[in-house]
Each structure stands twice: as structure tokens, then as C-alpha cells.
Amino acid sequence: MSDPEVTNPNDETPPILGSWKNIYTVVLVLHVVLIILFYLFSNAYA
């Protein structure tokens, strides 16, 4: 028997990009892009 009080919080859909998986991917991709930009910045002024 399932507990009606407990809903699956993962069911909440995000306001943009359709799913949480997409949002997480965007955050991580942006992070990788930022690290690459830092690398290029370091090299440009080395």
C-alpha cells in the first residue's frame, strides 16, 4: 500500500527546458565551457 501523503518529488517539472535532466545537462555543459574559456584565457596571456 502506498502512502498518499508521500508524493514523488521528482515528478515536479521545471519551469523551463522540459525536464530536470535537461537543466542539469545545461548547468554541467556551461561549467565545462567555462573551464575551457579559462584555459584559453590562461594560454592567451601566458
Partner 1 sequence: MSTIDWLVMTGTLATIVIYGVLKTRSVDNVKSYLLGDRDLKWWTIGLSVMATQASAITFLSTPGQAYNSGLGFAQFYFGLPIAMVILCVFVLPIYYRLEVYTAYEYLESRFDVRVRTMTALLFLIQRGLAAGITIYAPAIILSSILGWSLGLTIFLIGIVVIFYTVMGGTKAVSVTQRQQMIVILLGMVAAGVVVVSKLPEGVGMGDALNVAGSLGKLEVIDFKFDLNDRYNLWSAMLGGTFLFLSYFGTDQSQVQRYLSGKSLTESRLGLLFNGIFKVPMQFLVLFVGIMVFVFFLFAAPPVHFNTANLEKVRQSEYATELVGLEEEYKELSATTSAASTALVEALRTDDMARSSQAKAALSAAVANRDEVAEKVDALIKNVDAEAITEDRDYVFITFIINYLPIGLVGLLLAVIFSAAMSSTSSELNALATTTLVDIYRRSLVKNKTDAHYFKASKALTIMWGCVALGFAAVANLFDNLIQAVNIIGSLFYGVILGVFVVAFFFKKIGSKSVLSGALIAEAFVMLTFVATYLEMFNLAYLWLNLIGCVLTVVLAWFFSSGSKVVKRMIGVKG
Q: Give the nearest distance from C-beta 5 to partner 1 in angstroms.
A: 10
For partner 1, the binding residue among 4, 6, 18, 19 (CB under 8 A) is: 6
State yes or no: residue 31 binds partner 1 (CB under 8 A): yes
CA-atom Rg of the chain in angstroms: 19
Three-state secondary structure call for residue 17: coil
State yes or no: residue 1 binds partner 1 (CB under 8 A): no
For partner 1, the binding residue among 1, 2, 9, 18 (CB under 8 A) is: 9
